[in-house]
């Protein structure tokens, strides 16, 4: 059994190695196929480019995209954005030219590929260089001293040794664990039996300052037996990765995914953001809503002189996908206007753009694209979501956690609002001592029995190693009148909570104390007495227009091919507002799809009296009559529709089929060919025309 397990492990390792080699070879082949200027650029940035960035760059399909990506790459590293110069880019180019001129001598490799070239490209020129060349008893070597940046996890001072290993001309980076102090001595005779301390003493006799760095990158760091520091590789890894630590690679993925959606002028200006998404059942409507907040980490503003106002004309595009199918999408203008006196607060706290919409049950990918035309910047929110089936068992929704609450009219729907209370949220989920911990708890499928005797236990627990704080409170469910979806709100002072990470646990208990369901959330208490939360921009929706939300759900269920639920919400919306023409037309299209042709004829009559709807009136009647094999009347209706508007492929295709059904094959050709000219990507229409050619 052990031998078989070992064999399986060896095979797995070989597969992994083979895959890695294959991937590496594929990248090498792609690089060889690039224009030489892009091959040179990859050499230039070899030590500062993240793997994700390189992977995206090699997937780009043309030089225009590559040039834009390179521009974005340098912008992400510009220490003084907004100025014409990019000092970091200029420094890297300067280093590259220097190492290729200086370290190429004595090496079969280009200067940037040598050990000295690598360290110089990453860290720049050393603070000092101590040379041990021509020192009797020591192989030729150099010690480069650097001052590290503690914010990047680097030691305050560290020293690299480069030496001519095994008599080579090229200087190699000394590794105390692999090479050891013995490799720095010219005379290797009699060294095999010496201890680490004895080897250290031998080097120290000849070059005391060299000995201090022969066992560690950090001068003067010794273990009790003078063995080389096991921290060497960890420190070295931090140093080599230091140029990459402040770069968020998500911009590169966004560049690849959205280059066909976001115009090229935006692609070079990706801005990171803080985001929050919650799926909340709504007691007022009984529907599930997706609520989201996007707070860009930087905001560029413009000035509108006629009104003496500053403004940001945000444009928001939202899409909801189920696998590869778009279930719902919309775009919205989210412009923000404010006075000069508000400008410092906007600049200091930032802006959060919030919105919400109803959602059907299912698994989704939510994408929110937020563009700022002032600076041609964009940011992205992407989240995988699960919207649970309604079911019948009582259950808790995820707790909504904020830093304050505000009251609004019950008939106004707002993001992160439940009943008459909006919870003010901060996507960073961070509170200060001056805030209130606002917890909104939604309960679904509440029964009268559970309401009478059940409760919700709320526990706050500190997660820090030295934080033993634990608080518990209970909420009796009978404090509210019965409703299938109920909300319970608690506001808890946080001034006596120590700064730390906290977990909020919710437990739904029945009358006997049995656990029915549980959920958890997290928040952070800042050590600051007060912190600035982003200023919220959101639009309200009057629930007198609830029919619109029902049409949204009907369309989602239709795309999810849940026709019974789609039909239910179409009917609900129609009863609430029989005059909503766009919704009525969507319903007619749905009825055609599910084969309810008599119902189509009935619904289409509601369009008859409106001259602006004449095309759709005749179209839907024609489609229904054609499906009912009433060819003569169908032709009459479809001809009237095409006479009103001759550039709708539905009408043209239906007219062609009606002519075929009537045996008038030559007349069928003209509308079908016109339809293909409007949209060539119609294989069914091409098939019909080819069949006409064979007859």
Domain total of the chain: 4
Over its C-alpha atoms, the chain yields an Rg (Å, rounded) of 34
Q: Are residues 397 and 524 in the same domain?
A: yes
Chain length of the chain: 695
Q: Are residues 501 and 638 in the same domain?
A: no
Q: Is residue 562 part of a domain?
A: no
The predicted structure's pLDDT at residue 84? 86
Q: How confident is the model at residue 5 (pLDDT cuts 50, 70, 90)?
A: low
- How crowded is the C-beta side of 491, counted as CA atoms within 13 Å? 11
The pLDDT of 667-673, averaged and rounded, is 93
Q: Which of 33, 383, 73 is nearest to 255 (CA)?
A: 73
Structure tokens of 318?
């939202």
pTM, full prediction:
0.80
Q: Is residue 78 part of a domain?
A: no
Q: Is residue 39 part of a domain?
A: no
Rounded mean pLDDT of the chain? 91
Residue 196 has pLDDT above 90, yes or no: no
Residues paired with residue 354 on neighbouring β-strands, in sequence order: 293
Residue 2 has pLDDT above 50, yes or no: no
Residue whose tokens read 């041990």: 132
The predicted structure's pLDDT at residue 1? 45
The pLDDT of 423-430, averaged and rounded, is 96
Q: Tell me phi and psi for residue 296, to 5 degrees.
A: -60, 140
Q: Are residues 197 and 285 in the same domain?
A: no
**Which of 357-371, 635-649, 681-695 bottoms out in mean pLDDT, i.e. has the lowest?**
681-695
Q: List, in order, residues 6 or more apart from 422 with CB less than 8 Å away.
A: 405, 406, 407, 408, 414, 415, 416
Q: Are residues 222 and 290 in the same domain?
A: no
Residue 466 CB coordination number (10 Å): 7
Last residue of a domain, one of 519, 539, 559: 539
Q: Are residues 235 and 281 in the same domain?
A: no
Q: pLDDT by residue (tens digit) across 467-506?
A: 888 899 999 999 999 999 999 999 999 888 899 999 999 9
Q: Are residues 370 and 406 in the same domain?
A: yes
The pLDDT of 281-295, averaged and rounded, is 96
Q: Are 574 and 582 in contact (CB under 8 A)?
A: no
Give the percent of the chain with pLDDT over 90.
Answer: 70
Q: Are residues 460 and 314 in the same domain?
A: yes
Cα(638)–Cα(624) distance, integer angstroms: 11
Residue 6 has pLDDT above 70, yes or no: no
Q: Is residue 121 part of a domain?
A: no
Q: pLDDT by residue (tens digit) across 139-193?
A: 999 999 999 888 888 899 999 999 998 878 899 999 988 888 999 998 888 888 7
Q: Are residues 374 and 497 in the same domain?
A: yes
- How does DSSP assign 271-283, residue by residue? --EEEEEEEEE-T
3-state secondary structure of 603: helix
Residue 227 has pLDDT above 90, yes or no: no
Residue 203 has pLDDT above 70, yes or no: yes
Q: Are residues 613 and 502 in the same domain?
A: no
Q: What angle do CA 424, 427, 431 make, to 5 degrees?
A: 65
Last residue of a domain, one of 539, 569, 593: 539
Q: Is residue 136 part of a domain?
A: yes
The pLDDT of 450-456, averaged and rounded, is 96
Q: How confident is the model at residue 695 (pLDDT cuts 50, 70, 90)?
A: low
Helix intervals (H) in 479-630: 546-559, 563-576, 581-594, 597-604, 614-627
Cα(50)–Cα(55) distance, integer angstroms: 9
Structure tokens of 196?
């680490």
Q: Is residue 516 part of a domain?
A: yes
Q: Is residue 82 part of a domain?
A: no
Last residue of a domain, one of 539, 555, 588: 539
Structure tokens of 598?
């008599």
Q: How confident is the model at residue 222 (pLDDT cuts 50, 70, 90)?
A: confident
Q: Are residues 583 and 505 in the same domain?
A: no
Q: Which of 541, 567, 539, 544 is nearest to 554 (CA)?
A: 567
Cα(502)–Cα(492) distance, integer angstroms: 14
Q: Are residues 467 and 527 in the same domain?
A: yes
Q: How confident is the model at residue 218 (pLDDT cuts 50, 70, 90)?
A: confident
Q: Is residue 652 part of a domain?
A: yes
Domain residues for the domain of 493 are 271-539
Cα(457)–Cα(441) distance, integer angstroms: 11
The pLDDT of 437-453, averaged and rounded, is 95
Q: Are residues 317 and 438 in the same domain?
A: yes
- CATH number for the domain spanning 629: value is 1.25.40.10
């Amino acid at each position: 059994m052990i031998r078989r397990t070992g064999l399986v492990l060896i095979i797995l390792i070989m597969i992994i190695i083979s895959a890695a080699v294959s991937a590496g070879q594929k990248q090498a082949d792609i690089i060889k196929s690039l224009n030489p200027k892009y091959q040179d650029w990859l050499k230039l940035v070899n030590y500062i480019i993240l793997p994700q960035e390189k992977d995206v760059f090699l997937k780009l399909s043309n030089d225009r995209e590559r040039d834009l990506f390179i521009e974005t790459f340098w912008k992400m590293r510009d220490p003084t954005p907004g100025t014409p110069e990019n000092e970091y880019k200029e420094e890297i180019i300067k280093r590259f030219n220097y190492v290729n001129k200086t370290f190429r001598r004595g090496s079969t490799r280009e200067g940037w590929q040598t050990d000295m070239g690598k360290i110089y490209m990453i860290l720049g020129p050393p603070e000092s260089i101590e040379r041990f060349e021509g020192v009797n008893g020591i192989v030729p070597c150099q010690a480069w001293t650097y001052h590290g940046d503690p914010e990047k996890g680097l030691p305050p001072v560290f020293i690299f040794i480069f030496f001519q290993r095994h008599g080579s001309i090229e200087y190699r980076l000394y590794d105390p664990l692999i090479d050891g102090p013995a490799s720095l001595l010219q005379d290797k005779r009699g060294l095999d039996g010496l201890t680490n301390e004895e080897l250290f003493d031998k080097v120290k006799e000849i070059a005391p300052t060299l000995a201090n760095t022969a066992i560690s990158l950090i001068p003067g760091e010794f273990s009790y037996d003078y063995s080389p520091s096991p921290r060497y590789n960890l420190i070295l890894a931090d140093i080599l990765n230091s140029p990459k630590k402040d770069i968020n690679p998500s911009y590169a993925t966004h560049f690849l995914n959205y280059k066909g959606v976001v115009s090229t002028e935006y692609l070079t200006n990706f801005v990171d953001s803080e985001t929050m998404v919650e799926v909340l059942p709504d007691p007022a409507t009984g529907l599930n809503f997706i609520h989201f907040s996007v707070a860009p980490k930087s905001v560029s503003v413009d000035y509108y002189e006629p009104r003496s106002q500053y403004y940001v004309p945000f444009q928001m595009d939202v899409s909801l996908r189920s696998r590869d199918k778009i279930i719902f999408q919309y775009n919205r203008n989210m412009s923000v206007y404010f006075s000069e006196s508000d400008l410092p607060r906007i600049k200091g706290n930032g802006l959060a753009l919030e919105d919400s919409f109803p959602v059907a049950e299912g698994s989704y990918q939510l994408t929110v694209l937020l563009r700022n035309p002032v600076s041609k910047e964009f940011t992205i929110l992407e989240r995988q979501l699960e919207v649970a089936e309604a079911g019948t068992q009582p259950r808790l929704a995820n707790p909504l956690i904020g830093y304050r609450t505000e009251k609004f009219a019950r008939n106004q729907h707002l993001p992160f609002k439940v009943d008459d209370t909006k919870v003010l949220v901060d996507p960073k989920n961070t509170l200060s001592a001056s805030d209130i911990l606002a917890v909104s708890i939604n309960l679904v499928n509440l029964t009268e029995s559970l309401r009478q005797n059940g409760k919700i236990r709320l526990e706050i627990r500190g997660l820090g190693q030295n934080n033993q704080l634990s608080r518990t409170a209970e909420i009796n469910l009978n404090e509210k009148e019965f409703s299938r979806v109920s909300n319970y709100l608690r506001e808890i002072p946080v001034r006596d909570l120590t700064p730390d990470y906290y977990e909020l646990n919710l437990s739904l208990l029945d009358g006997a104390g049995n656990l029915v369901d549980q959920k958890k959330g997290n928040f952070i208490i800042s050590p600051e007495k007060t912190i600035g939360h982003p200023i919220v921009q959101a639009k309200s929706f009057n629930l007198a227009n609830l029919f619109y939300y029902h049409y949204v759900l009907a369309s989602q269920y239709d795309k999810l091919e849940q026709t019974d639920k789609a039909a239910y919400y179409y009917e609900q919306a129609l009863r609430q507002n029989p005059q909503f023409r766009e919704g009525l037309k969507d319903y007619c299209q749905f009825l055609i799809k599910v084969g309810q042709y008599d119902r189509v004829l009935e619904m289409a009559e509601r369009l008859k009296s409106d001259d602006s709807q004449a095309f759709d009136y005749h179209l839907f009647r024609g489609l229904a009559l054609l499906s009912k094999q009433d060819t003569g009347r169908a032709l009459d209706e479809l001809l009237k529709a095409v006479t009103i508007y001759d550039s709708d492929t539905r009408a043209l295709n239906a007219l062609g089929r009606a002519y075929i059904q009537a045996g008038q094959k030559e007349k069928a050709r003209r509308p079908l060919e016109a339809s293909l000219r409007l949209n060539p990507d119609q294989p069914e229409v091409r098939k019909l025309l080819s069949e006409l050619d064979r007859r």
